Copies of this chain bind each other. A is one copy, B any other.
């Protein structure tokens, strides 16, 4: 039986985050000691590991909820899980494209800074000037 702190360490999660996952129903309510402290078993460790791994891969908590649901029902079609992963891949690729464009522009800004006064600073100038923008009025995808 693991305390919440041990579970946190084993999965690289903060204690508060585990309680938060419980609160939003992503983790089940665990058993408690007489004094009311949470105690976890291997099933919870596995589930939390799954969640954290998926988070590292950029899946949203909603997507993870779907994936956990699929994984809880082994008879269901694999196609759904595949679709979720594909959606995720697509998003990742879109972000990559954006970030690459940003890198190019930032590099240009940095390399053209000559180190004088801000009045002739290229960094500020570039930000003031929209004409070389990637795409006008595009949303930032963080």
Inter-chain contact B92/A99, CB cutoff 8 Å: yes
Q: Does A77 contact B (CB under 8 A)?
A: yes
Q: Does A27 contact B (CB under 8 A)?
A: no
Known: A46-B128, A127-B57. A113 touches B77 (CB 8 A): no
Inter-chain contact A56/B110, CB cutoff 8 Å: no
Inter-chain contact A124/B89, CB cutoff 8 Å: no
Q: Which of A69-106 contact B (CB under 8 A)?
A: 70-71, 73-82, 84-86, 88-89, 92-93, 95-96, 99-100, 102-103, 105-106
Q: How far is the CA of A86 from the CA of B140 in the complex (A)?
A: 19
Partner of A81, one of B56, B89, B100, B123: B123
Q: How far is the CA of A73 from the CA of B117 in the complex (A)?
A: 10
How many copies, total? 2
Q: Does A18 contact B (CB under 8 A)?
A: no
25 contacts between A and B (CB under 8 A): A12-B137, A50-B127, A53-B133, A56-B133, A56-B134, A57-B102, A67-B123, A70-B118, A71-B128, A74-B118, A75-B117, A77-B118, A80-B118, A81-B124, A82-B115, A82-B123, A85-B106, A85-B110, A86-B110, A89-B106, A89-B110, A92-B106, A96-B96, A96-B103, A142-B142
Please give 7 more A-B residue pairs, beta carbons under 8 A apart, in addition to A57-B105, A70-B121, A78-B116: A46-B128, A53-B128, A53-B130, A78-B114, A89-B103, A89-B110, A92-B106
